[in-house]
Amino acid sequence: MDDTKKPASGLDGYFGITAAGSTIRTEVIAGVTTFLTMAYIVFVNPSILSAAGMPQDAVFVATCIAAFVGTAIMALLANYPIALAPGMGLNAFVAFGVVGGMGFTWQEALAAVFVSGVLFIFISVLPVREWIINAIPRGLKLAVSAGIGLFLGIIALENASIVVDHPATLVTAGDLTAAGPILAIIGFAIIAGLNHLKIPGATIIGILVVTLAGLPFGVATYGGIMSLPPDPSPTLFALDFGKVLTASFWTVALSLLFVDLFDTAGTLVGVAHRAGLLDEDGKLPRMRRALLADSTATVVGSLAGTTNTTSYVESAAGVSAGGRTGFASLVTAALFLLALFFAPLAGSIPPYATAAALLFVAVVMARGLAEIDWDDITEAAPAVVTAITMPLTYSIATGIGLGFITYVLVKVVSGRFAELSPAVWALAVVFCAKFLLG
């Protein structure tokens, strides 16, 4: 019998590595590459959620656990080279919008995250998933992503003290001669430049370089590199469902679900397209399994103490390195588990360094504005309202709501009723009720 005809076994057989045109070595390299491009999240997520009063060390553990669980499920269940971690934007929404703006405790916010994850699981299992995704106008989907990017941008500038508050103009420039703002700008330039050169781990390199540069100026403090994982108990199972019967709770939960759903779907399709994994109709096989990885990880992450877990576009770096199967994701998942031992390093990263990474993420997310149909003002106007009101109101939910309301009103005035789906009408009415009733 010809040995080349024998069915693959072991890792190759389970993940179909050879059949996908890859090798175990290539998949390992791809998994490491993806981790390096995403490793900044274990530093940035605890920093953001600490603004909501959450214990930073416990959030660090929760971040690693959520990323490990989500990425491992994606590997073993969906067999895609796509990694997951707590989503940028959603964490800021919880920290600054839900806790800082709506008066939730972080425990109540985690309960809303948990509910959004459970709802996401139901949507992933039931066929309504496609109906919801297809019912929302493309322009609003792009605007939500771009708006979250702009929201992250202003948070980054504030964390670096490049932008500060002002009693007359609301915001103004900070002391741009101080070490923190200067190092943040340098860090951003390093990250952007190295990304252009396609250097693996560009973001984490930029963070570490400006952190080290800040030590002589006293704006960064060295706390060590490795230790046993911190105590996760301060955030473990700390959910508080005290607001579950209030309208504000469900507004938060549904907003988290909405953003997570479209962010995940867009990332999955985009990365899969780059990897050549879409079928002849341009659809992603095993989409249901991939969404289950995301939603299950959100539930687990909320129980551990972090916000919604989502698929990361940085997975495209691993795909570019040759990753084609879930084995690459399994490698990434293992590295997130190993990251649990680097808590002292995470605690040493100053706000201006994570701000540099946040600002770069903002740039990447804002590019969705380029794909909006600017020749159609009934599409462009609601998109701009959605994107610009998120940072200016410090609320992703408010931006989404005003965007949907504006979209319906502009289409109605223009006489283009046929372009308004039942889902858009329903969401506009819900947000109107929310704004009127509070």
98-123 pLDDT, tens per residue? 998 889 999 999 999 999 999 999 98
77: tokens are 């269940």
Lowest pLDDT segment from 160-169, 280-289, 399-408:
280-289
- Give φ, ψ of 310 to 5 degrees: -140, 165
**Torsion over CA: 400, 404, 410, 416 (sign):** positive
- Cβ contact 329:28 at 8 Å: no
Q: Check pLDDT > 70 for residue 135.
A: no
Lowest pLDDT segment from 50-59, 67-76, 130-139:
130-139
What average pLDDT does the segment 232-255 reach? 93
Task: Give the model's pLDDT for residue 308.
Answer: 94
What average pLDDT does the segment 151-177 reach? 87
Please compute, for residue 205, the number of CA atoms within 13 A of its CA located in the half-sphere on the CB side. Answer: 15
Task: Give the model's pLDDT for residue 167.
Answer: 87
H helices present in 126-225, as ranges: 128-135, 138-159, 179-196, 202-214
Q: Determine the straight-line distance between the first and last CA of the chain, rounded to whole angstroms.
A: 73
Q: Check pLDDT > 60 for residue 3.
A: no
Local confidence band at 368 (pLDDT 50, 70, 90 cut-offs): confident
What average pLDDT does the segment 131-139 reach? 72
- Cβ contact 59:45 at 8 Å: yes
Q: Which residue has the tokens 């060590």?
A: 224
Q: Check pLDDT > 80 for residue 7.
A: no
Lowest pLDDT segment from 259-273, 326-340, 373-387:
259-273
**Percentage above 90 pLDDT, the chain:** 40
- Cβ contact 148:259 at 8 Å: yes
**Percentage above 70 pLDDT, the chain:** 94
d(Cα 34, Cα 329) in Å, to the nearest integer? Answer: 8
For residue 105, which of 248, 311, 279 has the smallest C-alpha distance?
A: 248
Q: Where are the domains positioned within the chain?
A: 3-437
Q: How far is C-alpha 57 from the geometric centre of its chain's CA atoms?
A: 20
- Cβ contact 111:244 at 8 Å: yes
Identity of residue 85: A
d(Cα 12, Cα 250) in Å, to the nearest integer? Answer: 45
pTM of the model: 0.78
Q: Is 417 helix (H, G, I), strand (E, B) or coil?
A: helix
